[in-house]
Amino acid sequence: MSARTGDTDLNKLAKVLADMPEDIQRQITTELKAIGEEAAALAQMFVRVDTGALRNTIKSTVEGTQLKLSAGGLSAPHAPIIEVKYPYLAPAVEAIKPQIDALLNSVQMEMQNRVSNTTKQ
C-alpha cells in the first residue's frame, strides 16, 4: 500500500526538476529523503500496533524525484484495511506538506536567482 499526494506538490516538484541543473536535483533528492524519513517515522507513530509487523514495513523511498511512503507486503497484508479504518499514512503525508511547500519555494527562488544572474551577464 502506498500513499501519494496525486497531482499536488510532489508531482509539481517532479515537473520542475526535469529542467533543473544536476546540483539542484541532488540537493532536492537529499532533502526529499530526509522529509521521507520523517514521514515514515510519523506513520510508524500513528499506526495502530498489535504485533508490530505492519509498523515494521512502513518505509519511504525516493525514486528520481518521487517520494513514496509505503507499508504492507507479505508480512503485513492487512495494511490497506488498517489505513482505511485507522489512517496512518495519510496523516503522515499531510504532516510533511509544509516541508514540501518550503522545498518548492526554495527551488523556485534558486531558479529565479540563476535566471536573473544569467540575464545580468
1-52 residue pLDDT tens: 555 544 566 666 666 666 677 888 888 899 999 999 999 999 999 999 999 9
Structure pTM? 0.79
Q: b or e along 55-89 (b: 16 or more beta carbons within 10 Å of the residue's beta carbon)?
A: bebbbbebeebebebbbbeeebeebeebbeeebbb
Contacts of 25 (CB under 8 A, 6+ apart): 17, 65
55-104 residue pLDDT tens: 999 999 998 778 999 999 999 999 999 999 999 999 999 999 999 999 98
CB 75 within 8 A of CB 56: yes
